[in-house]
Chain A
């Protein structure tokens, strides 16, 4: 089965949004491997130099339902990363076309 590249890319984006919205709110809350080892060694959690961010801890502030707050933050981040990398890619491809017109 051969699918169009556009369809495949759209499928990857849809899958990412579904994972971010529906699955991410149910992710494990346990510390990750590094946090656990740092904790066992009595290392400080690391005082953050910069604690401000639009969505600290992957939650949109002001949304009371924590699962919804995380799901929406995940969708926002996924779309943000998509837009930025797509934009950088477009610039690189445009530059290549200028250098080697085909």
Chain B
């Protein structure tokens, strides 16, 4: 879902870049107050996993492929602001190192895949965790829904950016984007659930969204 250069308007790219800079700044500010030494290796390895897993395009039919985004996974492990930071680093490296995603569209890409993906995924995890019993199987099911939905919302935001850039009419672009990403999101759900079940089995204390007291979880989305 990496936007190239010259597809989204300058105004939208600039607005999204501003939001992305603010989110990453907030992540650095908050991390400097809350990140423990113990979380640092998890931060690094989660980012490394997301970069590697994003390379694995899987076919979804109709000659289309999709790949993992990872923002819900990062937010589940380290909270939504750290997820923004991780996604920003991954997307900047992809853009500058691998010419994946336009330099001028970097703000929009960080906004769509990092901020929207991470906050939607985490928000749903938090909301469902508050309502449902605290059981591993329930948490893993909720993770699937949150990961799937985060991809759907990110793809809708991406489609709207194209619509508001005057690229196409809403009815031409939003339905196919949502249709393809409804399938791509299943892959997101499977990978996020696989990581959640593995980590809950061997080291549940590393999964922030599982451990945070629920009242706090719901209040800590921002």
A16 touching B49, Cβ below 8 Å: yes
Q: Given A81-B48, A88-B85: A33 and B55 within 8 A (CB)? A: no
A81–B70 Cα gap in the complex (Å)? 14
Closest to B112 in A: A34
A16–B42 Cα gap in the complex (Å)? 13
Q: Which residues of A contact B97 (CB under 8 A)?
A: 53-55, 77, 80
B173 touching A19, Cβ below 8 Å: no
A38 touching B7, Cβ below 8 Å: yes
Interface size of B by Cβ–Cβ distance < 8 Å?
Answer: 77
Q: Given A81-B48, A85-B44: A93 and B155 within 8 A (CB)? A: no
Q: In this assembly, does A82 line the interface, its C-beta being within 8 Å of a C-beta of chain B?
A: yes
Q: Which residues of B contact A32 (CB under 8 A)?
A: 1-2, 57, 64-67, 184
Q: What sequence of 0s and 1s flags, for each residue 51-65 of chain B, a beta carbon within 8 Å of any chain A beta carbon?
A: 111011111101111
For chain B, residues 142 to 172, give those with C-beta under 8 angstroms from any C-beta of chain A.
Answer: 155, 158-159, 162, 167-168, 172
Q: In this assembly, does B186 line the interface, its C-beta being within 8 Å of a C-beta of chain A?
A: no
Q: Which residues of B contact A33 (CB under 8 A)?
A: 1, 60, 64, 66, 155, 177, 180-181, 184
A36 touching B64, Cβ below 8 Å: yes
Q: In this assembly, does B35 line the interface, its C-beta being within 8 Å of a C-beta of chain A?
A: yes
A8 touching B199, Cβ below 8 Å: yes
* A interface: dominant SS: helix
Could you say which of A9, A51, A57, A58 has the most chain B C-beta atoms within 10 Å of its C-beta?
A9
Q: Which residues of A contact B33 (CB under 8 A)?
A: 96, 99-100
Interface size class of A (residues with CB under 8 A): 35 or more
The residue that A30 contacts in the complex, of B6, B63, B105, with Cβ under 8 A, is B63
For chain A, residues 46 to 84, give those with C-beta under 8 angstroms from any C-beta of chain B.
Answer: 46-58, 70, 73-74, 77-84
Q: In this assembly, does B132 line the interface, its C-beta being within 8 Å of a C-beta of chain A?
A: no
Q: What sequence of 0s and 1s flags, for each residue 1-13 of chain B, a beta carbon within 8 Å of any chain A beta carbon?
A: 1111111000000
B45 touching A16, Cβ below 8 Å: yes
Shortest distance between the CB of B64 and any CB in chain A (Å): 5
A38–B105 Cα gap in the complex (Å)? 15
Shortest distance between the CB of A9 and any CB in chain B (Å): 4
B93 touching A58, Cβ below 8 Å: no
Shortest distance between the CB of A82 and any CB in chain B (Å): 4
For chain B, residues 24 to 81, give those with C-beta under 8 angstroms from any C-beta of chain A.
Answer: 28, 31-53, 55-60, 62-67
A26–B53 Cα gap in the complex (Å)? 12
Closest to B176 in A: A37
Q: Which 10 pairs across A and B sit closest by C-beta, in order of nearness?
A: A46-B4, A86-B44, A33-B180, A89-B40, A28-B65, A92-B31, A85-B47, A82-B48, A24-B55, A16-B52
Cross-chain pairs A/B with CB under 8 angstroms, 23 sampled = A3-B202, A8-B199, A8-B203, A8-B206, A13-B45, A16-B48, A16-B51, A20-B51, A24-B56, A27-B57, A28-B65, A34-B2, A40-B176, A46-B7, A47-B6, A48-B102, A56-B98, A77-B94, A83-B44, A85-B89, A89-B43, A92-B32, A93-B36
